[in-house]
Copies of this chain bind each other. A is one copy, B any other.
Amino acid sequence: MTERVLIKDLAAREDGTVRVSGWVEKVRDQRYVQFVVLRDESGAVQLVNGGVLREPDPENPRSDILVPRTTTISELTHGSFITVTGELQHNERVKLGGVEIQIEEIEVITKSLPDNPVAGDSGIDVRLDWRFLDLRRPEQNLVFRVQTTFLHALRNLWVERGFIEIQTPKLMASASESRAELFEVEYFEGKAFLAQSPQFFKQMAQAAGFGGIFEVGPAFRADHSFTSRHATEFTSIDTELSWIDSHEDVMELHEELIVAGLTAVKEKHGEEIQKLFGVEITVPARPFPRIPLAEAKQVVKDRGYEVPRADADMDPEGERQIAAWAKEVHGSDFVFLTDYDSSIRPFYHMRHEGDANLTKSYDLIYRGTEISTGAQREHRIEVLEAQARDKGMDPAELGFYLDFFRYGVPPHGGFGMGLNRVLMLMLEQSSIREVTYLFRGPNRLLP
């Protein structure tokens, strides 16, 4: 049997017999000719049946072949998976890739039900109900190829730098971040909780002397939100490194990773992204603009927007405003907001030597949305305990976490970044639902 050829490789082949496999995207069943658009994981191609014969014809010596072939094509349902052998022909007039295949043999591998529950104008909920059909759209396929390329570029950089990949447990005996938004698991005779982040465990790698580490894995938040950027389960990109001087070192690594990821995506998929999403992938210049939060709030205020919050934090509109500023003034899609108030940061963020009200921390804003929080961590046990108490926590409750610091730990920092938010913003999608393989929210556990 002829080897299967991926559709994307057809254009570079010489005319001749080929075998292709994929699913039926479109059928045009005309009186004297039948056309099938076949799609596989790499692209789409037009198949042609020139030998249409609808009734047995004793005078046509190929009647026994042509009639069943014609019938098979007439009865093809959208989405059915088929294998076709035929003659590849280059033809400039064929819009779809400049090639077509004259069908010789067609085999229906699995027939699809005729009623496609997802239509072009289906809402996001219907599309998520039938995610496997939704994912057949070329845009959706591209999202996950982009994801693959982006993550691989990050991992290449980490591996090049000697970072160690860890897999931290998602089952924990206590909270990893806060007691809110915690999922509880029945664990034999007791209880466990799902990790909200690998925070404590990636810091453990610092106490273990691992130096730089990274992890790409799930994180869980029992979050009731129904916004475009929240999920109860999401993919977290995490890294942590030792012997930093401040959060500036973390931001530098962060920039390098973003640049590596976007460079790879642009090289490999830039044209296709332009074509399917109308989006130009731009590789940001380094350094990304940095602005302390207090200054950022002043900039936002000067632009006519006063952040309506009692605490020192930004809000989503403030983030959009500061992003607009970064774009206008620095030509950048990215901006680091730095030096958050300690009142709105976790106890483990390191505070400034001269001003304990400020932390050595940052958020990274990409096209107006926060994608990441990073910081230098407090590694001095007595300061860490004081900061925990300062937040109304009982250090005893932090159990094993504080032990990490009692036996020595280097200065360190890192960040966590939401993969789905990055993809959403990169491809200018309206929701993380569009760029998550299977979205999970308060009302969504299926499929």
* A135 and B170 contacting across the interface, CB-CB below 8 Å: no
Q: Contacts A109-B411, A110-B405, A446-B400 given: A136-B167 contact, CB under 8 Å?
A: no
* A186 and B187 contacting across the interface, CB-CB below 8 Å: no
Complex Cα distance, B402 from A113, in Å, reads: 12
Min CB distance A288 to B, Å, is 23
Complex Cα distance, B381 from A302, in Å, reads: 63
Contact pattern, A 213-248, Cβ under 8 Å of B = 1, otherwise 0: 000111010101000000011010000001100000
Copies in the complex: 2
Task: Output the residue of A209, A381, A438 with the most chain B CB within 10 A.
Answer: A209
Q: Inside 8 A of A116's CB, which chain B residues have their CB?
A: 407
Complex Cα distance, B188 from A442, in Å, reads: 7
Complex Cα distance, B330 from A128, in Å, reads: 50
Count A-side interface residues using an 8 Å CB cutoff: 102
- Is residue A96 within 8 Å, beta carbon to beta carbon, of the partner chain? no
Q: Inside 8 A of A111's CB, which chain B residues have their CB?
A: 408
Contact pattern, A 344-364, Cβ under 8 Å of B = 1, otherwise 0: 000000000000000000000
Could you list 15 examples of A-B contacts with CB < 8 Å?
Answer: A23-B410, A42-B162, A109-B379, A112-B408, A113-B407, A116-B407, A135-B208, A147-B164, A147-B165, A148-B164, A167-B218, A167-B437, A171-B440, A173-B445, A204-B438
Q: Using a CB–CB distance below 8 Å, which chain A residues touch chain B?
A: 4, 6, 21-24, 39-42, 77, 79-81, 83, 109-113, 116, 130-133, 135-136, 140-141, 144-145, 147-149, 151-152, 155, 159, 162-173, 183-188, 190, 192, 194, 201, 204-205, 207-212, 216-218, 220, 222, 224, 232-233, 235, 242-243, 379-381, 399-401, 403-411, 419, 437-438, 440, 442, 445-447
